[in-house]
Amino acid sequence: MNLSELAQQVGAVIEGDGTPEITGCAGIKVASPDQVTFLANSKYLSHLAETKAAGVFIRESDPCPEGLTRLICDDPYFAFRNAIVALHGFRQHPEVMEDRGDGISSLAAIHPDAQVGEGTRVHPHVTIEAGARIGKGCHLYPGVSIGPNATIGDDCILYSNVVVYDHCRLGDRVTIHACTAIGNDGFGYATHAGAHHKIPQIGIAVIEDDVELGANCAIERATMGETVVGAGTKFADLISIGHGTTIGKHCLMVSLVGIAGSVEVGNYVALGGQTGVAGHLRIGDGVQALAKTGIASDIPDGAIVGGAPAVDADAAKRNALAAMNLAGLVRRVRKLERQLERSAQREE
pLDDT in tens, 12-21: 999 999 999 9
pTM of the complete model beyond 0.85: yes
pLDDT surpasses 80 at 51:
yes
pLDDT at 68: 95
Structure confidence by residue, pLDDT tens digits, 273-322: 999 999 999 999 999 999 999 999 999 999 999 999 999 999 999 999 98
Q: How many domains does the chain have?
A: 2
Q: Which active-site residues does the annotation give?
A: 243
pLDDT at 346: 85
The stretch 130-152 carries a mean pLDDT of 98
Last residue of a domain, one of 34, 59, 88: 88
The stretch 106-135 carries a mean pLDDT of 98
The stretch 270-275 carries a mean pLDDT of 98
- Pair (219, 116) in one structural domain: yes
Q: Is residue 182 part of a domain?
A: yes
Q: Is residue 135 part of a domain?
A: yes
Q: Is residue 284 part of a domain?
A: no
Q: Is residue 84 part of a domain?
A: yes
- Pair (135, 81) in one structural domain: no
Q: Is residue 331 part of a domain?
A: no
- Pair (33, 156) in one structural domain: no
The stretch 224-245 carries a mean pLDDT of 98
Q: Is residue 29 part of a domain?
A: yes
pLDDT at 91: 92
- Pair (237, 166) in one structural domain: yes
- Pair (73, 113) in one structural domain: no
Are the C-beta atoms of residues 108 and 124 closer than 8 Å to each other? yes
pLDDT surpasses 80 at 348:
no
- Pair (203, 80) in one structural domain: no
Q: Is residue 100 part of a domain?
A: no
Last residue of a domain, one of 229, 250, 271: 250
Domain membership of residue 132 as a residue range: 109-250
pLDDT at 323: 87
pLDDT, averaged across the chain? 96
Assign residue 30 the CATH number of its domain: 3.40.1390.10
